[in-house]
Structure 1
Amino acid sequence: MKFTLSWLREHLDTDASLETITDKLTGIGLELEGIENPGAALAPFRIGYIIEAVQHPNADRLRACTVDAGEGPVSVVCGAPNARTGLKVVFAPVGATIPANGMVLKAGEIRGVASNGMLCSARELGLGEDHDGIIELPEDAPVGARFVDYKGLDEPVIEIAVTPNRGDALSVRGVARDLAAAGIGVLKTWEPEAVPSKGSSAVNWKIEGTEACRWVLGRTVRGVKNGPSPAWLQDRLRAIGLRPISVLVDITNFFTIDLGRPLHVFDVAKLRGDTLTIRSGHGESFLALNGKEVTVTPDDCVIADAESVVSLAGIVGGEETGCTETTTDVFIECAWFDPVAIALSGRRHQVASDARARFERGIDAALMPAALEAATQMVIALCGGEASETVSAGAEPDWRRTAKLRFDRLQNFAGADIARDEAEGILRRLGFGLASSDEDSITVHVPSWRNDIAGKGALEPARVLTPDVLERVSAGVAVIEPEVDLLEEVLRIWGIDRVEPVSLPPLSAVPGATLTPRQGRALTVKRLLASRGLSEAVTFSFADHKVAELFGDAPESLRLVNPIASDLDQLRATPLITLALAAQRNAARGFGDHGLFEVGPAFHDGVRGGQQVVAAGMRLGETPRNWLEPARGVTALDAKADVWAALTALGLPLEALSVTTDAPGYYHPGRSGVVRQGPKVVLARFGALHPTLIRALDLPQHAVAFEIFLDAIPEPKRRKKAAPELSAFQPVRRDFAFVAASDVAAESVLKAARGSVRELIAGVSLFDVYEGEKMEPGRKSLGVEVVFQPKDRSLTDAEIEEASAKVIAAVTKATGATLR
């Protein structure tokens, strides 16, 4: 937000210095971004008088001029066609820098004639686009005076940073109001007089089938003369970086900055029909004032005449109905548009404008009638003409609401010792009206321009992002605690820098754990997976919904209405989605053999608590070649090994886990598994990716993945560690080869063996699986090693044979397998 110091003083009666004003702006939350002084670059330029201008003796298009700039005659060669004797001009002496091109003037000769300076055009001074001739000043311009002083250009331009909630601060009057509340001067009264109406309006309003506009006003001004704006208006707009266009357009830009009230003007002669309709788009296209073609959608709010769309409402108008020098009748639009609708349309069409910046932050709904009167006054004053009656559609939005402040909260919550009278005075100066009060609190009416202050009866936007957001935040405003907003207002005006800093009290003499168990699990898994050769990736938590559909369902509840990019519109149901996209990019660049992992969120619905932390990993291509073993394609067992290693690092007893074959559809149905603790708790999934998914994402042929659900990992029991039981006796290892049906899981055989002689068995492991020509069809051989660990004496041969028989019997009973 930019404004000049003199513009600010039109709303603020103050004699405070520039430094005092800018320091206070930062103190009240309108942070100073910078101060520019356009006059500083023009300081060397003086008002000169051409004593004589004659034809250059050696050039047809040059004039040899004798110029007096207050320090005696100077010879200057000038190529401007309007350089003539007796003209008052802008003179640049030797050593001056020309703003337009940065050229530093030096004394010299041009075609044999001395030239010790330059006569300047508007473009060369950065004051406009006119370059047809040098600037012509009035006869009463004082020779030798500084040009910046004569034109009033030597004043600072202040730029502030405005937070998204402070739409009211995107206006000079809003800034002046805050400064006045902070004790920097007095806010001047502003109340425009009503412009007499003469006749009916040539254009009427109609709102049809949209909630994006609730109220719109307008009036026709007949007999106007459009053209360049007066110098004061051009200078004011140019100082803040806006290009003057024509007086009608410049008036709308003026009020956008001055009052924060965007307006638009239509050329009545270019409108088809006598009614402008505010409605949803129907896929029409129109050429916008920014020179770009805009194709509207049913989600956009537009303004249309009898034949076509003439404006993307609240964002940008159409070129076809814009005002030009031939405009004689103009229709002024003044509307209230829904902030969310404007924000979404602006993002959808990638159109940024000063109007959009204000509408999407919320404008002052109560200001509309007064702003229309003020704009009409200025149009008639600068363009002539006469105004019609005001026409409207819809009704004023019910913005009225109240908020309550308890005075003791200023001390026990904000830590500021502010007297009751002082707090009430700050709110009153900010525009809050007294509704009621008692000994401990005050209830105030929130002013119409403070859309960021919540309270009872708060104005709700017509559109919200999702139904669950509507339920949780009541359209973005209703669940915000209004008392906190009032505390913030009192504190920032009183001075946050005056709040005395106080150290937080120590919680205990002995500090607690730095990490929560959940954070500890995440770090443990990260270290473990990195040690196993996987590279950590950090990806977005959202992806293209079309890619998400490859990994199962992509519900609307996880769809983003306002994504940062069109291909990042879906919250991911698993980190494998974004890991697969990263792997795809790596493979496309020649890195097909690699492994990635990420510990991040996965989402299963759009409500609070609808996400979980998942450690996901992916291996692709072939294993690294080394002298121990040749390279081979990665398999589902590699992914299972990663899962088993991670669960072991987290302290889970692997013998208490089971593996089922009901992995999701993005895994290969015959090469995947689900790790469970009991029948219901799912700890992890692993397996080869489905061939269809591999082809769709153009991944290497060998691609496996895993997911570990860290939130499902049970908390370790806190108990005293007992001394380890270390037997002094030699363990006995026995190998068993069981013949079982092909569909018998090896895990079932191991589980049965482990439970056969619990007091004696120290470990059971699978060391071989054989299916081949020496086995019957539908049968396989499983090699199992069982470790018997005696604790009080050495085992006899008979005891070993008895234990082995119990192992065989238990496996046979549980799985039907027989000893080979």
Structure 2
Amino acid sequence: MKFTLSWLKDHLDTEASVQTIVDTLTAIGLEVESVENAAEKLAPFTIAKVLTAERHPQADKLQVLTVDTGSGDAIQVVCGAPNARAGMKGVFGGPGAYVPGSDLTLKISAIRGVESRGMMCSVRELQLGDEHDGIISLPEDAPVGARYADWAGLDDPVIDVSVTPNRQDCMGVHGIARDLAAAGLGTLKPIAIAPIAASFACPIEIRIDDPKGCPAFFGRVVRGVRNGSSPAWLQQRLKAVGQRPISALVDMTNYVMLSYGRPLHVYDLAALKGAIVARKAHDGEEVLALNGKSYRLDATMTVIADDAGVHDIGGIMGGEHSGVTETTTDILIECAYFDPEAIARTGQKLTLTSDARTRFERGVDPAFLDTGIALATAMALELAGGEASEIVRVGTPPVPSKTVTYRPEQARTLGGLDVPEDRQQEILSRLGFGVATGERWTISVPSWRRDVDGAADIVEEVIRIEGLEKVASAPLPRAAGVARPTATAEQLLERKVRRTAAARGLNEAVTWSFIAEEEAAPFGGSPWVLANPISEELKAMRPSLLPGLLAAARRNIARGAGSIRLFEIGRRYLADGERSTLAFVLAGDRAARHWRTGKAQGFDAYDAKAEALAILAAAGAPVDNLQALGGAASVYHPGRSARLSLGPKNALAEFGELHPSSLKAFDLQGPVVAAEIFLDALPQKRGSSGHMRDAYRPPALQAVKRDFAFLVPEAVQAEALLRAVRGADKQAIAGVSLFDLFTGQGVPEGEKSLAIEVTLQPSEKSFTDEELKGISERIVAAAAKTGARLRD
């Protein structure tokens, strides 16, 4: 919410300085984003008169000017503006002046061989508007040599306030002035508007067919208007706060909206056919809005229409067809109340924002309709002339009758500040609340304070005006003795795996828990979809952490990153609840170009498996007992992925290379490998606090290693063979690993050769030859159960 100091003083009788106003606004909860003063950046620019204007000897489109800046000496300036001429007055910037619109500092220079000692400026170059067709032309009475900003009245600071969603009353300058007056910074000026006598009956019927979306519609016709440009003071104020002046009648509606937080709309009466009606749109109806875009409507949206069709997306934006122009002679002023929730839903569906929507969806003052239409009528008559009709009032504004029971001591018990009762009454009265004192106070809530519901809200109003800085800081009570650990087992686990992933060279990312529905689709879709999202890109709760990481990988690759190693710890949102998960993505080059091959090495599924096993080991999972099984999610390549499971049903992780269709969905080039570790599926430790690990006890006897080569059917997985061998003698066998896979000459068709190394660990005494022979026989017998036989 932007306003100028002079604009504020139209509503607040105060002598406070800008700094005092800014400090007070922030102190009472209206945080000031910035304060800008055009006069400060335009201080070097002065009013100058062009004495002569001659064509540049080397360029047809340039002129050589001699300029009187009031210093006594004529200054030579090279100028390309087509409107530059002898005798005109404009704005001059000399060497050393910074031109904000062009982002340059002026200096003496030669332009096509002719020296130029400054610049005659345009409106855009001084950031006073968008006009750039020529230099600024000032009236004859402009004093040569005077500072332009002072003469033009630009020494008027612009204050930008960040208004929180609950303070809809501060979406106008008058509401902000009310808060400052309550804080003791002056006196709020009353809204003085004299009644305007009607000259004729309203010639158009106004009707409401959608009382829920539009409970009240007040309208009035003004005929015989002349819609020219608005006066300079109005244009200057609108430009200062970022509004573009359009015409007197349009500027009038913007001025009332910014001053009082009351959006209005003005229709060209000649463009309306029959009655004007607030109704629901028909499915498929379209309207060309004032921003030049067409919008397709549905039956949930409130519109303003006539017999011919829709003219206005109610409470959001008017239509192009019935907007006022310079040829307009008769107008209809609309001052209506629209349901805040309906406005918010319509705006989000259409992805259409406007100043009117910002105010209506927060909730404008429903008791301000008569005052609003009176202000608009008076200003329209002042700026464009004409005569006004009777006011047509259709519907009933939903003016609340809300009271709150309050005890003054609640300021101390709830807010921590002891405020005298008379001071509390003064604060509340200045804010517009009605106060009936007694043992318990009855507080009447004003119509513009939709956010106040109970005693706690009244305490907030009293404390913020009295001064939050007066609330004493008090530490929370703490039990005596040494503090106990507060982290849960889940938090400790997340800390451990986070440190492990980072130590292995992965970079932590934090992505949104909400993603687009199309991003969730490759992962089976999301069971949790928001009905009223902030945007379509944040509509579905993520069923996997990979969509966010893949989007982050895409952005990094687009910016030239050669190797992507990202991980995230967060929650997946499934139909039966949320699940703690660690996911990582590896993309690009695993290492730089190898010195021998001259090629970079990319990631493969085994890299993902190695990282997943290392993180699982750090988490305390029994990695030696894990099985690499098929059946990973469809986002992975079916032949280059697996599940790491404790048994066929308890999957602790999935890893592998992503399927080409998954890469295409995220606009990535492969290969890209990834994994998800399901932290909630990890087995819990039994009978141990987990704070200490068992002491290391190295075996007393030397281990024995034996190699076996088996012929197995091609369909048999190596993991099945290793698992069978590992179970042949659990006391003697300490480890089993695969070290060779061979097919080809010497191996029958349909079979493969798997060579494994078995580590045998004696406990009390060394193995005898007979014991080793017996163990070997048990290994061969166990392998045979998988269809394996010893290779000759």
TM range (shorter): 0.7 to 0.9
* Corresponding residue SS for 1:557: coil
* Corresponding residue SS for 1:763: strand
Cα 1:398–1:658 shift into 2, 3 Å: farther
Asked whether 1:718 is paired with 2:689, we answer: yes
Taking the TM superposition and a 5 Å limit, the aligned residue runs for 1:314-713 are 314-339=315-340, 342=343, 353-397=354-398, 399-401=400-402, 410-411=411-412, 414-434=415-435, 444-453=443-452, 455=453, 484-503=456-475, 510=482, 518=490, 520-522=492-494, 524-526=496-498, 528-529=500-501, 541=513, 543-554=515-526, 557=529, 561-563=533-535, 570-581=540-551, 594=563, 596-604=565-573, 610=578, 612-619=580-587, 635-677=604-646, 680-694=649-663, 702-713=671-682
| Counterpart contact for 1:663–1:673, Cα < 8 Å | yes
| Counterpart contact for 1:559–1:570, Cα < 8 Å | no
1:245-302 deviation digits (Å, cap 9, x = unpaired): 4432232122112211011111101223332444337556655445x33334437654
Provide the residue aligned with 2:23 in structure 1.
23
* Corresponding residue SS for 1:673: strand
- Counterpart CA distance in 1 for 2:93 and 2:754 is 100
Asked whether 1:798 is paired with 2:770, we answer: yes
| Counterpart contact for 1:210–1:301, Cα < 8 Å | no
* Corresponding residue SS for 1:418: coil
Please, which moves more after superposition, 91-100 or 766-775? 91-100
* Corresponding residue SS for 1:764: strand
Please, which moves more after superposition, 295-304 or 260-269? 295-304
Cα 1:728–1:155 shift into 2, 3 Å: closer
Q: Which amino acid aligns with 1:135?
A: P
Alpha-carbon shift at residue 645 of structure 1 (Å): 1.8
- Counterpart CA distance in 1 for 2:463 and 2:632 is 56
Cα 1:208–1:715 shift into 2, 3 Å: farther
* Corresponding residue SS for 2:21: helix
- Counterpart CA distance in 2 for 1:145 and 1:703 is 67
Give the percent of matched residue pairs that are identical in Structure 1 and Structure 2: 43
Cα 1:503–1:530 shift into 2, 3 Å: closer
| Counterpart contact for 1:12–1:185, Cα < 8 Å | yes
Alpha-carbon shift at residue 557 of structure 1 (Å): 1.2
Taking the TM superposition and a 5 Å limit, the aligned residue runs for 1:745-756 are 745-756=717-728
Alpha-carbon shift at residue 631 of structure 1 (Å): 8.3
| Counterpart contact for 1:5–1:155, Cα < 8 Å | yes
Cα 1:729–1:422 shift into 2, 3 Å: same
Unaligned residue ranges in structure 1 (runs of 5+): 49-54, 60-66, 106-118, 456-481
- Counterpart CA distance in 1 for 2:581 and 2:657 is 22
Alpha-carbon shift at residue 375 of structure 1 (Å): 2.1
- Counterpart CA distance in 1 for 2:93 and 2:590 is 76
Alpha-carbon shift at residue 651 of structure 1 (Å): 1.9
Unaligned residue ranges in structure 2 (runs of 5+): 56-67, 77-82, 107-119
Taking the TM superposition and a 5 Å limit, the aligned residue runs for 1:23-102 are 23-32=23-32, 33-34=34-35, 36=37
Cα 1:737–1:540 shift into 2, 3 Å: same
Taking the TM superposition and a 5 Å limit, the aligned residue runs for 1:780-799 are 780-799=752-771
| Counterpart contact for 2:227–2:326, Cα < 8 Å | yes
Q: Which amino acid aligns with 1:718?
A: S
Taking the TM superposition and a 5 Å limit, the aligned residue runs for 1:165-176 are 165-176=166-177
* Corresponding residue SS for 1:604: strand
| Counterpart contact for 1:587–1:700, Cα < 8 Å | no
Provide the residue aligned with 2:269 in structure 1.
268
Q: Which amino acid aligns with 2:293?
A: E
- Counterpart CA distance in 1 for 2:195 and 2:451 is 30
Q: Which amino acid aligns with 1:705?
A: A
Q: Which amino acid aligns with 1:763?
A: G
Provide the residue aligned with 1:11 in structure 2.
11
Taking the TM superposition and a 5 Å limit, the aligned residue runs for 1:270-289 are 270-280=271-281, 288-289=289-290
- Counterpart CA distance in 1 for 2:506 and 2:230 is 67
* Corresponding residue SS for 2:363: coil
Cα 1:170–1:588 shift into 2, 3 Å: closer
| Counterpart contact for 2:345–2:532, Cα < 8 Å | no
Alpha-carbon shift at residue 331 of structure 1 (Å): 0.5
Alpha-carbon shift at residue 614 of structure 1 (Å): 2.6
Alpha-carbon shift at residue 684 of structure 1 (Å): 0.6
- Counterpart CA distance in 1 for 2:96 and 2:637 is 77
Cα 1:768–1:512 shift into 2, 3 Å: farther
Cα 1:36–1:622 shift into 2, 3 Å: closer
Cα 1:391–1:770 shift into 2, 3 Å: farther
Alpha-carbon shift at residue 729 of structure 1 (Å): 1.8
Alpha-carbon shift at residue 625 of structure 1 (Å): 6.7
Alpha-carbon shift at residue 24 of structure 1 (Å): 1.9
- Counterpart CA distance in 2 for 1:809 and 1:628 is 45
Q: Which amino acid aligns with 2:204?
A: V
- Counterpart CA distance in 2 for 1:519 and 1:669 is 34
Cα 1:597–1:155 shift into 2, 3 Å: closer
Taking the TM superposition and a 5 Å limit, the aligned residue runs for 1:63-212 are 135=139, 157-190=158-191, 192=193, 194-197=195-198, 199-207=200-208, 212=213
Provide the residue aligned with 1:219 in structure 2.
220
Q: Which amino acid aligns with 1:575?
A: L
* Corresponding residue SS for 2:312: strand
Cα 1:445–1:634 shift into 2, 3 Å: same
Cα 1:438–1:733 shift into 2, 3 Å: farther
Alpha-carbon shift at residue 685 of structure 1 (Å): 0.6
Alpha-carbon shift at residue 495 of structure 1 (Å): 0.6
| Counterpart contact for 1:260–1:363, Cα < 8 Å | yes
- Counterpart CA distance in 2 for 1:522 and 1:24 is 44
Asked whether 1:727 is paired with 2:728, we answer: no
Per the normalisation by structure 1, the TM-score is: 0.74
Cα 1:570–1:199 shift into 2, 3 Å: same
- Counterpart CA distance in 2 for 1:234 and 1:733 is 91
- Counterpart CA distance in 2 for 1:363 and 1:655 is 66
1:647-690 deviation digits (Å, cap 9, x = unpaired): 11222112343443222112233443222345654321123333
| Counterpart contact for 2:208–2:214, Cα < 8 Å | yes
Cα 1:293–1:727 shift into 2, 3 Å: closer
Cα 1:397–1:731 shift into 2, 3 Å: same
| Counterpart contact for 1:34–1:160, Cα < 8 Å | no
Please, which moves more after superposition, 258-267 or 531-540? 531-540
- Counterpart CA distance in 1 for 2:143 and 2:200 is 48
Q: Which amino acid aligns with 2:769?
A: D
* Corresponding residue SS for 2:730: coil
| Counterpart contact for 1:28–1:493, Cα < 8 Å | yes
Q: Which amino acid aligns with 2:225?
A: V
- Counterpart CA distance in 2 for 1:280 and 1:10 is 40
Alpha-carbon shift at residue 364 of structure 1 (Å): 1.4
Q: Which amino acid aligns with 1:25?
A: L
* Corresponding residue SS for 1:448: coil
Alpha-carbon shift at residue 233 of structure 1 (Å): 4.6
Q: Which amino acid aligns with 1:640?
A: K
Aligned length: 749
Cα 1:498–1:767 shift into 2, 3 Å: same
* Corresponding residue SS for 1:574: coil
Alpha-carbon shift at residue 787 of structure 1 (Å): 2.9
